[in-house]
Amino acid sequence: MQKTINHKVQCSGMSITGEYQTKVTFSPAPPNSGVVFIRDDLPGHPEVECRSEYARTDSRWTSLVKDTIRIEHTEHLLAAVAGLGIDNVKVHMDSPHIPVVSQFSSEAFVNALIQAEPVNQSLPKSTLKITEPQWVFDSFIYEGERYESILIALPSQQPVFTYLLDYPGRQLPTQLAHYRLTGGLDFVSELSAARSYIMDFEYSQVAKLIGNAMDQCLVLSGGTAEKLRWENEPARHKLVDLLGDLATIGMSVKGHFIGIRTGHKTNIRMAKKIQETFGGDGG
């Protein structure tokens, strides 16, 4: 059955650009409404539905853009919603930015949504099924060499996610993370606390983008495994990003997603491809 939450709950933190404190308020939503972002800071309280056609990756994070209305940094919040199996929720915002919480993880969003008491609704879940293999290729340059990345979607009776983290130059050891989405509390123990990270050589570049939000950022080098919550925490966080980005499809997807060196750009390309290929209205 579809799920919403029983009552309102708030979550606050620094904006992704590090400029100001911001908050979101989750509130219940009726069946078949999906995830709807509401910009309460703007006249008329414009709404942006969670749909892959609105998804953008202009920076190091994912945004939704409908006409001129922007919702910045959606991936960790949407991962929390999808990870708990919540289908319908309103997200009231007091700025364009979803707050950075729990060191760029989904943990605080998950805790807030659990406090809001997820409840079943009267209608069955809307589900999109992967019926034939799909793939998205990309590439990047590192120290003059081109490296390939690929995201594959295969038919599966359940939502399953696998990520192979394989950095050129071995800044981090090769890591594998695997997760089967059930909509239960296993997301809390397995993925929600996995933090985003940057490598030490990226520090100055990222600091220009996120400013004071760097205080929440985990900075890694080749010898910092002792900082990690799991040995494969970076790969686990890539699954958080993948789950959150694919949530822009707007409904549960049954398929096995396998990412190798992929990121937000490939995730969103896959979300758009799936919605175009297999249908679904995002509601």
Instruction: Name the average pLDDT for the chain.
Output: 90
User: Which of 112, 105, 101 has the alpha carbon at shortest distance from 213?
Assistant: 101
Query: Rounded CA gap, 137 and 135, in Å?
Result: 7
The per-residue pLDDT for 225 is 56
Query: Rounded CA gap, 73 and 218, in Å?
Result: 17
CATH 3.30.230.20, the chain: domain bounds: 3-120
β-strands 145-154, 134-142 pairing: antiparallel
- pLDDT band of residue 218 (cuts 50, 70, 90) is confident
- pLDDT band of residue 280 (cuts 50, 70, 90) is low
Q: Which residues pair with 129 in a beta bridge?
A: 254
Does residue 221 or residue 29 have the better pLDDT? 29
Q: What is 196-229 written as a DSSP string? A: PEEEGGGHHHHHHHHGGGGGG-EEE-TT-GGG-S
Residue whose tokens read 């030490």: 200
In this structure, whether the domain defined by 3-120 belongs to CATH 2.40.170.20 is answered with no
Question: Does the structure show a pLDDT above 70 at 17?
Answer: yes
Q: Contact at 8 Å (CB) between 118 and 183? A: no
What are the pLDDT digits (tens) for 147-186? 899 999 999 999 999 999 987 766 778 999 999 998 878 8
Query: Rounded CA gap, 64 and 71, in Å?
Result: 5
Q: Where do the DSSP E strands lie in 115-181?
A: 118-120, 127-129, 134-142, 145-154, 160-165, 175-180
Range 200-224 average pLDDT = 72
Q: Contact at 8 Å (CB) between 223 and 172? A: no
- Within the chain, where are the H helices? 75-83, 107-115, 186-190, 203-210, 233-246, 264-278
Question: Does the structure show a pLDDT above 60 at 132?
Answer: yes
Structure tokens that stand for 218 in this block: 């985990």
Top-ranked range on mean pLDDT: pick from 179-183, 223-227, 242-246 = 242-246
Query: Rounded CA gap, 194 and 187, in Å?
Result: 10
CATH 3.30.1700.10, the chain: domain bounds: 127-278
Question: Does the structure show a pLDDT above 90 at 60?
Answer: no
In this structure, whether the domain defined by 127-278 belongs to CATH 3.40.50.10140 is answered with no
Cβ-Cβ contacts under 8 Å for 25 (sequence gap 6 or more): 8, 9, 10, 91, 92
Q: Contact at 8 Å (CB) between 280 and 128? A: yes
